Structure 1
Amino acid sequence: MVKDHGSQIKDDKTYERLRDQGASKGKAARIANAQAKSKASHGGTSETAAKGGRHGRYEDWNKDDLYQQAKKVGIAGRSKMSKDALIDALRNH
């Protein structure tokens, strides 16, 4: 059963799913509220849901952000990789 998180959270089910996946309270709230707002204004699936809550294209990230993501997922040898190599490694890990 989905818990009511108060009037601050517009989509409790999405909020709980994101929290279970490890998202911070703030991030989960932002995504859940954006999804609820989009559903209300479009009457259907939100853009956030269509993207699966995923980030933008790696090509649009800077090298430092790519490095941090590679570190987060445990890619070995990341400190010596170029931006293109980091993108490849992230896509194929």
Structure 2
Amino acid sequence: MPGKDPGPQIKDKDQYEALRDKGYSKQKSARISNSKGAEKRGGSSDDYADRTREEIYSEAKKADIKGRSTMTKKELIHALRNN
């Protein structure tokens, strides 16, 4: 798969390729690499600690974090940062 361009809609192509190499689907790899891309590029989003649990939960839902409904805010942050 290296060398194959996933297209202009992918914000973080290196992360996308790394996720694909791990066996993630194209859709999930795109969703994860795009949801974290704005933060890596200095977007206007605040630090996770400044967000509500519901906002963090929404990000976890976009990243398809399993078990998110029972996680605390701290656990959700950890899961998002280590996904």
Q: What is the TM-score normalised by the length of structure 2? A: 0.50
Structure ID, larger Rg: 1
Q: What is the TM-score normalised by the length of structure 1? A: 0.45
